Amino acid sequence: MADETRAPAPYTEADLSLIKRIIPHRYPFLFIDKVRDIVPHEGGVGIKMVTSNEPHFQGHFPEEPVMPGVTIVEAMAQTSAVIVGISMNIIDKPLATYFMGIDKCKFRRMVVPGDVLELHCKALRGGGKIWKFEGRATVDGQLCASAEFTAMMALKADD
């Protein structure tokens, strides 16, 4: 349930341009194209258009390309970092994000070129530097992967 005392965030959706203003990831390690349905301090849904020209498919696997599970989890984490950035109004500021733990991680379905990967991320704990999320990755409503993950997110100190 949303905290009624918090001011509403100006964004309920983040396109690629806004994502890059929040998180430092860039090609070839940026694994989300947009984030929609953002509810500050609660969650949102990341979108990843899976294409055959992504570099990991050259080796995983050339004859039968499959998106690596670790990149699916990373895409959930990037989605969550965007949600935190919007929740904490950390836009155009140097946000440092570090994984602290991944729990209950399971893979259920392969993700392949042509899929539209939806990354449903829900905040379980957060508001300060330490956030915990529950993520579910789906394609066409089918569960592909799920995990709980904890990360520390804070503004980098000025140089």
Catalytic residue among 25, 56, 60, 120: 60
Q: Which residues contact 98 (CB under 8 A, 6 or more apart)?
A: 151, 152, 153
Task: Tell me if residue 60 is catalytic.
Answer: yes
Cα dihedral sign, 66-67-69-70: positive
Cα dihedral sign, 142-39-15-74: negative
Strand 116-125 and strand 95-107: the pairing is unpaired
Residues serving a catalytic function are: 60
